[in-house]
Amino acid sequence: MTERLTAVADFAQQMMTGDRSGHGFDHIERVVNLTRQLLAENPVNGEIALTAAYLHDCFDDKLTDDPAVRRAEVVNELTQVGYQPAEVDHILAIIDHMSFAANLEQHQELSPEGQLVQDADRLDAIGAIGIARAFSYGAVHGYAMYDPKVQPRENLTKENYRQPETTINHFYEKLFKLSDQMNTATARRIGNERKRYMQSFVTEFKREWEL
């Protein structure tokens, strides 16, 4: 890694260690590693992509009570370690437009670097680890695991997306949809495999619940 990317990794670890909602530094490291995997087949600006991967959750408004302060800390860190203003703007644009919530009502155009980070982040939301992360997030925020009387919502908006729901409904409302929204062929292939695993899990979960 470059010296400034190493500094960013250390900064991200300080920011995200201690999270118990499935967005801790272990998640960050997996997204970084998946981004590296996608970079091998999609040669774009790797340092920009990896920097965005390290920082993508640092000022997410679902993870901090003061996203504006955290965002300013990120900008200050990038500036201090030598990122140029155009690079900082590129990284922030990726982070601002890559989330599922940001794309609910209008598709956000991402740079090639941003598309890889988005794919990597979405891949870590699905499959076996995605299942574990979904239940971790639900537990932290007080969601019921499942309620057969509560049906998945069909028309999500950015405003209602994070309103309390059941964790099982989250699979229908978001997680099962992600594999079809991947930008790269590699991510679609991996995503389809992970989707099938989640579908099997949810089928078994409901079967056991209904006994």
Closest by Cα among 178, 149, 177, 145 to 164: 145
Amino acid at 54: Y
What is the per-residue pLDDT across 9-55, written as a single tens digit (0 to 9) for each? 999 999 998 899 999 999 999 999 999 999 999 999 999 999 999 99
Q: Which domains does the chain show, CATH number per domain?
A: 3-210 (1.10.3210.50)
Confidence bin at 155 (pLDDT 50/70/90): confident
Q: For residue 126, which phi and psi values (nearest 5 degrees)?
A: -125, 170
How large is the average pLDDT for residues 79-91? 98
Per DSSP, 101 falls in state: G
Q: DSSP readout, 146-196?
A: --TTSPPPSS--TTTTTS---HHHHHHHTGGGGGGG-SSHHHHHHHHHHHH
